Chain A
Amino acid sequence: MSKWYPKKGRVIFHVDMNSFYASVEAAYDPKLKGKPIAVAGNPEERRGIIVTSSYEARAKGVKTTMPLWEARRLCPELIVMRPNFERYRAASKEMFKILSEITPNVQPVSIDEGYMDITECQDLGSPLEIAANIQNRIANELDLPCSIGIAPNKFLAKMASDMKKPMGITVLRKRDLPKKLWPLKVEEMYGVGSKTAEKLNGINVHTIEDLVSTDVYQLKRLLGINGERLKNRAIGIDPSPVDPDAVYDFKSIGSSETLPNDTVEETEIKRLFRNLARNVARRLKRKQAVGRSVQIMIRFHDRRTITRSVKLPNYLEDEDEIFAVSNDLFEQNWNGDPIRLLGITIQDVAEKKEIAHQLDLFTYEQEASKEGLYKAIDKLNEKYGKSTFIKLNSNQEDNQPRTSFQKDFLDDYKK
């Protein structure tokens, strides 16, 4: 089998679920199969935008982030559903479980995609066989389509998984690059957003091939260090490792929400802050984390956006504390203009087990009452090892993530 594996270098998969939310919905209700479906946040309100859509809907021109009314115009028979994050999360967890049965070197990137490093998996067959196996299992067990890119690094694997959808398996080797990668438009390259593409077009770089033939110093002048990185990737160099723990690197946890209408109503603003604080507190709790800086974001009716933050002497985790600090910040910084969106982000986040909890003179009695318990735990831990006890998270149900942009759930498949 080893002939399929490079002597030096790695074999990386990028597994990308095809129109994930829509596919999960179709798996739940097979009647939806073959029909144009779209998942949209809050179909009734103005912020209702397409989160994802099935390939049938895409064929009619429906695109992600398109406002709902526009999608309905393009595709009148469109079936619009509210997101069921519960379902997506469950499906995602099963999907990553399948991946992690191949190798522990799985790096989840979002709810519906992840990298795998299968360099050490020669016993399981050739990379193509392993990929086909993964694709079949996900299709048979979860009734979900996915595309898999196979390449010597993460960047190429990501580009490869994008080349054939749905249910594709694409191998992208370095020698394939001139034919398969370089003819693509530069904005199709992973890591090139509209702003970067605009800049590149400005110096007459339109295809990835143009990028490859551009002088690296010129790119650096234009895009900084990222210019060099993009060029390296285009010629097939991306040393970044598949890091199973990357998802644990969290420095901030935040939540933001658009108001249904621009407002100056303080009660409404307070209510939203309360919600955001609750969200953030819930997510901190999921992470068993605490934070020390609080940042608020205010976007005004004219899209002008400000952020203001404060660093606290102590770590906080409580909804009430987060709310109080955010509200203070808001009151100090709001000029009275109508507000469109508010956000709270907790920064300087640390896992609880890394930090110590400073007891408080006015409240220590409560904690001290548990001293006997802690002492007993300490003793047993000393005797039987560190993880003899874990603190159970109360009301799990309440801790479920609410949006697709939270990565908190990505550690769940390991449970």
Chain B
Amino acid sequence: MKFVIQRDQLMDSVQNVMKAISSRTTIPILTGLKIEARHDGIKLTGSDSDISIESFIPKEEDGIVYVEQIEPGSIVLQAKYFPDIVRKLPQKTVEIEADDQLKVTIRSGGSEFHLNGQDADEYPQLPELHTEDSFELPTDLLKNLIKQTVFAVSTVETRPILTGVNMKLEDNHLNFIATDSHRLASRRIPLEKQTQHLNFSSVVIPGKSLNELNKILEDKQDSVEISVTENQILFRTKHINFLSRLLDGNYPETSRLIPEQSKTIVYGTTKELLQSIDRASLLAKESRNNVVRLQTKEKDQIEISSNSPEVGNVVEELSAKSIEGEDLKISFSAKYMMDALKAIDNEQVKIEFTGAMRPFIIRPIDNDQILQLILPVRTY
């Protein structure tokens, strides 16, 4: 195997596949990065058996040549050293060559590294997914779906299914839902094309996979093709295949847990509310709970306050656009509230409360595609 490649292109690809490589894996060869030289370009693969990422660098694209002097072949290199070597090489181009003895030579300018490689035949084959069961989404929309929900997944394994985001297909709408049982984030979008042909209706994608995917995807209009099988999901862009295992088990039915009626509705400016809670949480952060209190006042005023006995307290009033319904006093996690407000993606926000011990709902004022729900805290 041999090829000469643009260092920057190689570096980007290496960084992408590194997202899947973990030094703590039960299959030793997965600590390595697979390089495959083909006549049409170079394919890199990284995997931790939960997530697998393939990144392809074409020989040439739009008239720009990225790879030259390709002699096909493949090799697995230690992921611990390879990325740093590539990053620090002196020249714009890199020559990589592997011999029959699995010795790899990396040359750039006057620098020459010799690394021991591993046999690529020992690297597990990634499953080929049927692509019939697939649909497409614009990349930036997919990134939004992820960003607006994935933060709410559970970080503990007590209920493993909650560490994932539930992707649901119903009535030609795609729904992303995440909850750690203390808050819930959901985003719903209409699908343009008919989706009758799709076989899945509800799958659960590990939150970690979506976080990594979001980092790799570039914010652009190009589309991502999404294919789902029984236990895996593939996200495919022009040069990247991102394959993730799905979580086993049934995602809890959350829709019935979302209150349909409300007793108090607060309309406000997202940014003002966010900043106010951010300030109140400055003191709350010190205490163990990070809890702030919201109280409705006369004349459409809201009071945000926080009290940490050892530190001090803060009270702040802000004007709501309007307040409808009963008076309310409620305490909640400042962090959850800030996460939710950041995901709202609208200047104006509508918050619907049903009482101090019941979940409340935060939505953009004029659409119900985004729904953030938070369970309050009860102070003992």
A→B interface (CB under 8 Å):
292, 312-313, 324, 350, 352-362, 364, 367-368, 370-371, 374-375
Residues of B in contact with A, size category: 20 to 34
Counting CB contacts under 8 A, is B182 at the interface?
yes
Going nearest first, the 5 A-B pairs with the smallest beta carbon separation are: A356-B377, A359-B375, A368-B357, A352-B380, A371-B357
Say whether B333 contacts A361, CB under 8 Å. Answer: no
Secondary structure type dominating chain B contacts:
loop
Q: Return the contact of A356 from the options B180, B252, B331 (Cβ within 8 A).
A: B331
Name A362's contact: one of B181, B291, B355 (CB within 8 Å): B181
Neighbouring A residues of B291 by C-beta, 8 Å: 356
Q: Say yes or no: A371 contacts B331, CB within 8 Å.
A: no
Q: B357 to A360, Cβ gap below 8 A?
A: no
Contact of B252 among A292, A362, A364 (CB under 8 A): A362
Q: Contacts of B182 on A, CB cut-off 8 Å?
A: 358-361
B-to-A contact residues, CB < 8 Å: 155-156, 158, 179-184, 252, 254, 257, 287-289, 291, 309, 331, 333, 355-359, 373, 375-380
Contact B257 A357 (CB under 8 A): no
Q: List 12 A-B contacts (CB under 8 A).
A: A354-B288, A355-B288, A358-B375, A359-B357, A360-B182, A360-B375, A361-B179, A362-B252, A364-B357, A367-B357, A367-B378, A371-B358
Complex: A362 Cα to B375 Cα, angstroms: 10
Shortest A363–chain B CB gap in Å is: 8
How many A-B pairs have beta carbons closer than 8 Å: the answer is: 71
Residues of A within 8 A of B288 (CB): 292, 350, 354-355
Give the CA-CA distance A368 to B182 in the complex, in Å: 14
Among residues of A, the one whose C-beta sits closest to the C-beta of B156 is A313
Check B375 against A361 for contact (C-beta < 8 Å): yes
B352 CB, min distance to chain A CBs, angstroms: 16
Q: How far is the CB of B110 from chain A (nearest CB, A)?
A: 50
User: B254 and A361: CB pair below 8 A?
Assistant: yes
A313-B156, A358-B377, A364-B357 given; 5 more Cβ-contact pairs under 8 Å: A354-B287, A358-B333, A359-B182, A367-B378, A371-B358
- Measured in the bound complex, the distance between the Cα atoms of B228 and A85 in whole Å is 63
CA distance A354 to B257 in the complex (A): 29
CB distance from B52 to the nearest CB of A (A): 26
| A350 CA / B289 CA spacing, docked (Å) | 11
- Which residues of B have CB within 8 Å of A364? 357-359, 375
- Bound CA span A364–B355, Å: 12
Q: Chain A contacts of B376 at CB under 8 A?
A: 359
Taking the closest CB of chain A, its distance from the CB of B186, in whole angstroms, is: 12
Q: Which residues of A contact B356 (CB under 8 A)?
A: 371, 374-375
Contact call A355/B355, Cβ cutoff below 8 A: no
Once the chains are docked, how many angstroms separate the CA of A368 from the CA of B287?
25
Residues of B within 8 A of A370 (CB): 357
Residue of chain B at shortest CB distance from A325:
B158
Known: A313-B156, A361-B182, A361-B254. A356 touches B357 (CB 8 A): no
Contact yes or no, B357 A374, CB < 8 A: yes
Among A357, A359, A360, A368, which residue has the most Cβ atoms of chain B within 10 A? A359
Q: How far is the CA of A361 from the CA of B376 in the complex (A)?
A: 10
